[in-house]
Amino acid sequence: MDLKDLYRDVILDHNKRPRNFGQLEHPDAFANGNNPLCGDRLLVTLRMSGDRIEDIRIEGKGCAISTASASLMSEAVKGKDRAAIRRLFDQVHDLLTRQDATPSAELGKLAALGGVRDYPARVKCASLCWHTLNAALAHEAAAVSTE
Ligand code: ZN
């Protein structure tokens, strides 16, 4: 199995069985995200412990890329503080937009999203969850849109 097959399997698996799916009751922060180009919608709810994400749930309706990306993100950011999440976001952004980006070990399974950069129309599907997370962390309990 080559790397491309492995990455495709990760995306398919996380689309079929998204991790941390649902809503937290009485979340400390939340945000709604919307990608009108594709029709992806996402709600991110967070339980914070100081600067750290103690728990996260994602819920929404969208394409395979947006669902898998949100699922992968939820696993990657749980337990991490804002500085670590900012670093991850910067690396994911590079991975999605720069052809010469090579995934670091810190990215882990998020590296599976690297193939998305060959489909520029889908980059917003993959980044929606991160923009929504950032909005929740900024305590903007508001809606964000990629447009
Ligand atoms: Zn999409």
Report residues near ion ligand 1: CB below 5 Å: 38, 40, 63, 66, 125
Distance 3 CA to ligand 1 centre (A): 23
Provide CB contacts within 8 A for 138, sequence distance 6+: none
pLDDT at residue number 118: 87
Q: Does the pLDDT of residue 18 top 70, yes or no?
A: yes
Nearest CA to 64 out of 103, 119, 134 is that of 119
DSSP assignment of 10-68: HHHHHHHS-TTBS--SS-SEEEEEEETTTTEEEEEEEEEETTEEEEEEEEEE--HHHHH
Instruction: Give 90 Cα–ligand 1 centroid separation in angstroms.
Output: 20
| Interval between CA 44 and ligand 1 midpoint (Å) | 16
Using one digit for the tens of pLDDT, what is the confidence trace for 37-75? 999 999 999 999 989 999 999 999 999 999 999 999 999
pLDDT > 90: what percent of the chain?
Answer: 77
Q: What is the pLDDT of residue 94?
A: 94
- 62 alpha carbon to ligand 1 midpoint, in Å? 6
CATH tag for 3-139 (out of 1.10.10.10, 3.90.1010.10, 3.20.20.70, 3.40.1160.10): 3.90.1010.10
pLDDT at 143 > cutoff 60: no
**How far away, in angstroms, is 50 Cα from ligand 1 center?**
32
Task: Look at residue 120 in the predicted model and tell me its pLDDT.
Answer: 87
Of the candidates 106, 128, 115, the one whose C-alpha atom is nearest the C-alpha of residue 44 is 128
φ/ψ (deg, to 5) at 43: -115, 125
Reply yes or no on whether the pLDDT at 26 is more than 80: yes
> Stretch 14-36: mean pLDDT, rounded?
96
H or E segment and range at residue 144? strand 143-145
| Average per-residue pLDDT for the chain | 91
Q: Report the predicted TM-score, pTM, of the whole model to 2 decimal places.
A: 0.91
Q: How far is 43 from 27, CA to CA, in rounded Å?
A: 12
